[in-house]
Structure 1
Amino acid sequence: MFVCLQGVNRVGKDAQLGPDGVRRKDWHNYEAIKRDASRSGNGEQGKPFPLTDADRVDQAYRENGFNIYVSDRISLNRSVPDIRHPNCKQKLYAEKLPNTSIIIPFHNEGWSSLLRTVHSVLNRSPPQLIAEVILVDDFSDKEHLKTALEEYMVRLPKVRILRTKKREGLIRTRLLGAGLAKGEVITFLDSHCEANVNWLPPLLDRIAQNRKTIVCPMIDVIDHDNFGYETQAGDAMRGAFDWEMYYKRIPIPTELQNNDPSEPFESPVMAGGLFAVDRKWFWELGGYDTGLEIWGGEQYEISFKVWMCGGRMEDIPCSRVGHIYRKYVPYKVPGGVSLARNLKRVAEVWMDEYAEYVYQRRPEYRHLSAGDMTAQKELRNRLNCKNFKWFMSEVAWDLPKHYPPVEPPAAAWGEVRNVGSDMCMESKHFASGTPIRLESCVKGRGEVSWSHGQVFTFGWREDIRVGDPMHTKKVCFDAISHNSPVTLYDCHGMKGNQLWRYRKDKSLYHPVSNSCIDCSPNERRIFMNTCDPSSLSQQWLFERTNSTVLDHFNQGAN
C-alpha cells in the first residue's frame, strides 16, 4: 500500500504519517536527477552509441558477448532515461527501510561494464540503504580483474571483493556472497547492469511490509551492440515457463491488473539474476539448493520454493534496472550437463506429478541422475510447503492457457505439398529469419525422416511451426505484408503476423495482410500474394489433417 502526496498529514520537512501509522517520505535524490539530466555525450540519457562498421568487429564481442569497445567509450557514470510510469514519481515509501547488501557475481567481466554496474548502484541508491556492495569473482583470469580492480575499489569504501578458489559457477558464487552479507536484505544483480532512478526504495519497502516477499525490479534492455537503453517488449509481464522448462513471459491477466499499473504485481517465476530478499528469510528457505550445479534452473527452484513455502514473489514496476542481454555466452561453462541435471532436480523436488509433463517433452531427463535430494525433501517437509498442484491452481493459474501441460491436438501436420507444382515447403535451416523454400518432396525421393525440414505443424495456437506435433521447433511462419516472403521467426504465440488459416479451398490465408501463400516453382520461392481461389499455386495439401480442429478454427474466424 503506497500513499500518494495528497491528503496526508505533514510530519517534519520530508516525512508524512499515513493512516497505518507508518511515516513515509519521498526518497528521490533530486540533485542527482538534475545532475544526470544535464549530462550529454556518448550514450548519455541511455541513447544508442552511433556505430561505424569498424566498431562492429567480431573481436569486440568475443570476450564479453557484447560490444566492449562501445562500452569503453561511454562514461562509467552515464545517465539513463527515467522510463518509469509517471505515478512512480509521486510515490512515498517508508521512512525506515531495511538496508541491503548488493551481491554482484562476475566471471571475466569487461572492465567498463563491471564498473558501470557498481557506479550506477552507488550513484542512484540512498547511501544509508546500502550496507555494502560485494563483488564475487568466480575465478576470473583476466588481468584487469586482479590488482587493478582492487586498487580501483579502494576509493569506494562500501565495495569489497571476494574471490573463489576454483571455478564454482553462478549459483555457488551467489551463495558465497550471500553467506558473508551483513545487510538486512540481500539484493542480487548481474555484473552488466545499470540501476535506474530511485530503483531501491520500492524494493525494500515491499520487504519492510512483508519480509517473506521476494521482489524483482523490472528488467530493461541495454543493447549489446550500441548500449541504447529501452524497455523489454511488452514491458510489465508475469514470469512463467513452458513444459520444456524454458523461461517465458505472459501478459498480466485482467483479474490481476491494478487500476494503477505502477503498483507491484504477483509473478509466478522470476527471470533469474535480479532480485531482493530478506536475508534471514533467504536462509530459512535454505538459500539456493547447493546440489544445483554451475547455472540453470535456480530461478525455478527459488520461485517454486518461496510460493509453496509461505512466501510470495512480486515484480515492482517503479524499480527498474537495465541489463545487457549478451549476444552469446563468451566463456565455456564447465560441466555441460548442469542445466539438464538441475532442471531434473527441481522437477523431482518441487513439481510432484507435473514433472511427468516435462519428461514427456524431454525423455532424456527421465534417466538422468539428479543427485541426493534427501535434504531438499526434508526442507520441503519442515517448512510445511504446499504441493505443486496448489502452485499451479493458485499462483500460475493463467500459465496453462499459454502453455498447456497436455498439448491440444494440431489441426494439420506433415509435409505441405503444393497442388500446382507437386513440390513441398521446406526450411533448410531452423534459424530465425530463414525463408521457406519450395523443393521437391522428400517423400517422393524415398527418404522419410521426421527430422527433415519438410515437416510442419499447424497447431492449436493457429501458427505453423517446423516439426511434427510432438517435436515442434520454436520457429513459426511469419509474413509482414502482401508480397513479402514467408520466413521463420521465433514464435511469440501472440497471433498477429504469425496467425494463419487453412481454408476449405486449400489456401493458407494470412489475416493480417489479407493475402495467401503463393509460390514460384521455377524460382523455388514462397511468398504472399492476393488470394485467388482458382490459382493452383495457392493450394496446399497437408499430409494429415484433423477436421474437427480445423472446423473449430475456421468457425472462430467468422
Structure 2
Amino acid sequence: MQERAQEKAQVRHILCEKQSKALEALEKLNSGMKFDEVARTYSEDKARHGGDLGWMNRGSMVGEFQDAAFALPVSSIFLTNLLSNTNDPSKNQSTTIKHSKMREEFVMIDGKSVRKIDWHDYNQIAEDNARTGLGEQGQPVEPSMQERSSHEFSKLYRENGFNAYVSDNISIHRSVKDIRHPDCKKKLYAENLPIVSIIIPFHDEHWSSLIRSIHSILNRTPAILLKEIILVDDASTKDFLKEKLDDYVAKLKKTRIIRLKKREGLIRTRMAGAREATAEILIFFDSHIEVNYNWLPPLIEPISFDYRIAVCPFIDIIKWDNFAYIDVWGGEQYESSFKIWQCGGQLKDTPCSRVGHIYRKFNPFGGFSFGDYMTRNHKRVAEVWMDEYKEFIYKRSPHYRKTDAGNLTKQLEIRKKLNCKSFKWFMENVAFDLPKYYPPIPLPPYASGEIRSMTAPLCVDTKHGSEHASFGLDQCLSDHKGIGGEQEFEISWRQDIRPKNREMCFDVPKNGKRAPVVLFSCHGFKGNQHFMYNIVRFAFI
C-alpha cells in the first residue's frame, strides 16, 4: 500500500485564452484523439492564440480521480487530464474544464459538454446570517409559563396540532440553520436546468405557517428556475384564508391560488394543482415547510439528465412545539418507490436538498375521513405491487387481509401495460439488504419478563409512558396483584429493551455517568439503545 501511495499521477494541462478553444480540445479528447495530438495542436496555436502547454507531477495513488488546482490568469480556462505514471496519454481517466473567474466546470454527459455552476445565493445567505430575533437560524422558541397558560395559546394549539402561538411570534422571513453536509456547499450543478411549478395544497392552514412556507421558497429558490407557486385551497373554512389571502398573494411574485368547491383530500387537491401547472417539473409541498439553502438545483439536476428519475429531498423536522429546525433522515411513500423502480424508473434521495417540515402532534381536522384510509391504502399497495410478498404483510398484520381495498382493476392494468417488473426483482436488485435490518417475519425476542432488582423487591416499571418519559422502580406486579403498571419487557433480536408489544425502547439520550434512561421510538441501530445482558453478573450493560 505504501508503494502505491508513493506513485504519482501525472497532470497534464492546456491553457487557453478562449472558452471555445478549451471546449474544442475537450471534444477532441472525448472523440478518441490522444492527449499528445491535442497538445501539439494547441502548442502550434500558441503563437497565434497565446495558449500554453505544460506538465506537472503531483503525488497521488494511481487511478485516483482528482482535479488539479493551478494559479491561472483570470481569463484562463484549463483542461486537466489525469494519467498514471505509465506516460500513456490514451489512459484518460477524467476530463474537466474550470474557469478561474467563478466556480464552474464542464463535464461530458452522454457525449455532450455540460457547464456546471455554483447556484448558491450568497447575498441571501449573508442577509439571513445577519438576522437576529425569535427563531432565527432555526433556533427553538420556548414560551413562558404565563404564555402557555393563556387561552390564546391553547386555542391555537387545538386548532392546528402544533404551536401556532410560537409560529406567530417568528418572522415569516426567518432564517434557518444550514445543516447540509459541508461537501454540499462545494457542489456545482448544471447551468441549464428546467423550470419548476411548486404546488402547495392546504386546508385551514394557520396563516403564519402558510405564509412562511411561501416566503421560504421565494427567498431561497433561484428566481430563474421558479415558474410559479400554485396554492390549492381544499375548501378551507377559516375567514383569513379567503379574501385576506387573495389580497396578500396578489402582491407576491409568481404566486397564485386556485380554490376547490368542496373538500377533496390531499391527492385530488395535488392533482388539481398539477392540471394548472405550466412548468416542466412539478414539486409538491405541504403547507407548513421551510426550504434550506440551495435546495432546488440538486433536486432537479438528475431529472434534467433522465426524465425517468424521481427525486426526494431529505425531510428535516421543524418541531411542532418550539419550531426548532433539526436534522433528521427522512423517507416516505412506499407506493411511489415500488411503482417507479418496478416500472423502469429510479427513485433517488438527494442529501444536499433539505426541506424542513412541521409534523403535527395530532390531526386537528378529524371531521374529514374516508374511514381507516391508512390500512386501506397499505393493502392497495400490497395487492397491486408486492405479489407473493404481500403474505408477509398479512402475517404481521392479519386484519389487513379482511380490509376492503376497493376496485384495483385499473391499477393492475396499468402495471401490466407498462410491463413492470416483479416485486421479487425489486427485493433482489433495489432493496436487497432490507431483510437484514427488517426481517419479513419478526424474529422472536432473546428473552422476556420482568426486570427485578437484586437488592430490593422492586421491578422496573415504565407505566405505559410516552416518548421521552423517564421511569424507575416500583413494587413488582408479580408480588402485588391488583396494582397497575407496565413491567413486562423483551430483549429483542436487535439487542434493545422494550415494553412488550410496544415500539418504545430504553434509550440513553446523553453520555456520562448515571445518565438517565428514557423511552424513545425504537430505531433498531443499537447505539444509545444497545443493551446486553451479562449472565454472570445478572445485569444489563
Give the structure-1-normalised TM-score: 0.72
After superposition, give the CA deviation of every residue in 1:50-90 in whole Å (9 maximum; x if it has no partner): 53223434334222222212211222122223232232233
Pair 1:396 & 2:439 matched: no
1:386 corresponding residue in structure 2: 421
Matched, 1:59 2:165: no
In the TM superposition, what is the alpha-carbon distance from 1:420 to its structure 2 partner?
Answer: 6.9
SS of residue paired to 1:217: strand
C-alpha change, 1:410 and 1:371, in structure 2 (3 Å) is same
1:355 aligns with 2:390: yes
What is the SS of the residue equivalent to 1:366? Answer: helix
Show the 5 A alignment for 1:196-275.
Answer: 196-232=292-328, 235=329, 270-271=331-332
The residue correspondences of 1:41-120 to structure 2 (distance < 5 A) are: 41-56=133-148, 57-120=153-216
Check if 1:313 corresponds to 2:351. no
Question: d(CA) in 2 for partners of 1:400 and 1:221?
Answer: 27
8 A contact 1:4–1:90 mirrored in 2: no
Q: Which amino acid aligns with 1:143?
A: D
Whole-Å separation in 2 of the counterparts to 1:383 and 1:223: 41
Separation in structure 2 between the aligned mates of residue 328 and residue 4 of structure 1, nearest angstrom: 51
Moved more, 327-336 or 136-145: 327-336
9-18 vs 22-31, which deviates more?
9-18
| 1:134 alignment partner in structure 2 | 230
**Is 2:540 aligned against 1:509?**
yes
- Partner-residue secondary structure (3-state), 1:22: strand
Match of residue 244 from structure 2: 148
Contact 2:313 2:353 (8 Å CA) reproduced: yes
Which residue identity lines up with residue 498 of structure 1 in the other structure? Q
- Residue 490 of structure 1, CA deviation: 2.2
Distance between the aligned counterparts of 1:401 and 1:341, measured in 2? 27
Question: 1:53 and 1:336, CA in 2 relative to 1: closer, same or farther beyond 3 A?
Answer: farther
Secondary structure of the 2:272 match is: helix
Q: Look up the SS of the partner of 1:168 in the other structure.
A: coil
Q: Secondary structure at the match of 2:402?
A: coil
Distance of 1:427 and 1:217 partners within structure 2: 37
Q: 1:422 to 1:126 in 2, by over 3 A?
A: closer
Residue pair 2:457, 2:475 contacting (<8 A) in 1 also: no
Q: Work out whether residues 417 and 441 of structure 1, in 8 Å CA contact, stay in contact via their aligned partners in 2.
A: no
Partner in structure 2 of residue 405 of structure 1:
440
2:489 maps to 1:456:
yes
Give RMSD over aligned pairs: 2.9
Amino acid at match of 1:462: Q
| 3-state SS in 1 of match to 2:391 | helix
Instruction: Confirm whether residue 30 of structure 1 aligns to residue 30 of structure 2.
Output: no
Give how far 1:225 is off: 2.4
Residue identity opposite 1:18 in structure 2: V
Residue 223 of structure 1: CA displacement?
2.4
For CA contacts below 8 A with separation 6 or more, give which structure has more relative contact order.
1
The aligned amino acid for 2:285 is L
Q: Whose Rg is larger?
A: 2
1:497 and 1:124, CA in 2 relative to 1: closer, same or farther beyond 3 A? closer
Deviation of the 1:208 alpha carbon: 0.4
How far has the Cα of 1:111 moved from its partner? Answer: 0.6
Change (3 A) 1:226 1:486: closer
State how many pairs are aligned: 440
Report the 3-state secondary structure (helix = DSSP H, G, I; strand = E; otherwise coil) of the residue aligned with 2:277. Answer: coil
Kindly indicate whether residue 106 of structure 2 is the aligned counterpart of residue 17 of structure 1: yes
Distance (Å, rounded) in 1 between the aligned partners of 2:417 and 2:203: 35
Aligned residues of 1:15 and 1:95 also touching (Cα < 8 A): no
Bigger Cα displacement from structure 2, 369-378 vs 385-394: 385-394
Q: Secondary structure at the match of 1:390?
A: helix
One-letter amino acid of the structure 2 residue matched with residue 365 of structure 1: Y
Aligned 8 A contact 1:222 1:325 in 2: yes
Q: Secondary structure at the match of 1:371?
A: coil
Q: Structure 2 vs 1, CA of residues 3 and 302 (structure 1 numbering), >3 Å: closer, same or farther?
A: farther
Amino acid at match of 2:406: G
Give, in angstroms, the shift of residue 16 of structure 1.
4.6
Residues 99, 105 of structure 2: 8 Å contact kept? yes
| Local SS of the residue matching 1:18 | strand
Q: Which moved more, 1:156-165 or 1:378-387?
A: 156-165
CA deviations 1:206-250 (Å, max 9, x no partner) are: 110111111111222222222222312xx5xxx6xxxxxxxxxxx
Report sequence identity in percent.
50
Instruction: From the superposition, tell whether residues 167 and 91 of structure 1 become closer, same or farther in structure 2 (CA, over 3 Å).
Output: same
1:473 equivalent among 502, 513, 519: 502
Letter of the 2:215 partner, please give it. Answer: H
Distance 1:45 1:476, change over 3 A: closer
User: Secondary structure of 2:341's match?
Assistant: helix
Counterpart of 1:322? 356
Conserved in 1, the CA contact under 8 Å of 2:298 and 2:353?
Answer: yes
